[in-house]
Amino acid sequence: MLPFLKKNIKLLCDENIPVGFIIRAVELGFDVKKVSPGSSDAKVAMMAKKERRALLTFDKHFSNYLLYDPQKYAGIVVFRIDPPLVSLILKLWLNFIVAIENQELEGKLFIISPSGFRFFPKS
């Protein structure tokens, strides 16, 4: 487990998150679950809510407040990285985790890109 990871962060990875990222995240101490291939967005959203896992995805529509209100989730993280290289995704994810200093993901939407990250709602 990483020294800055004070508690186990539960993640749900959408099917578009590379397996290489998932393997490394588990090795680093994250509690990761991946959705089944072909799962509908409704099923992914329901699973994230039911299991209280922060959703990691590349699907931009999960950043739509009207469809997926972040306050109803344990966190929504949308990556905007092209091409989705495992090494870059992992680097940006770890930079993000360090930057938020173990603040709660709960109820927030985060957009992560090579230029940094944004979150909503802003406190």
For the chain, list the strands marked E by DSSP: 10-13, 31-34, 54-57, 76-79, 109-113, 116-120
Residue 2 tokens read as: 């990483």
Residue 8 pLDDT level (bands cut at 50, 70, 90): confident
In three-state form (DSSP H/G/I as H, E/B as E, the rest C), the secondary structure along 52-73 is: CCEEEECCHHHHCCCCCCHHHC
Domain range list for the chain: 10-114
Q: What is the pTM of this model?
A: 0.92
Nearest CA among 48, 45, 81, 83 for reference residue 64 = 45
Choose which CATH entry (3.30.450, 3.60.9, 3.40.50, 3.30.720) describes domain 10-114.
Answer: 3.40.50
Q: Is the pLDDT of residue 91 over 80?
A: yes
Burial of 74 (C-beta count, 10 Å sphere; 0-12/13-18/19+): buried
Give CA separation, 55 vs 3, 94, 110, in Å.
Answer: 23, 16, 10
* pLDDT tens per residue across span 29-70: 999 999 999 999 999 999 999 999 999 999 999 999 999 999
First vs last Cα of the chain: how many Å apart? 29
Residue with tokens 């770890």: 94
Per mean pLDDT, which range of 15-29, 53-67, 88-102 is the poorest? 88-102
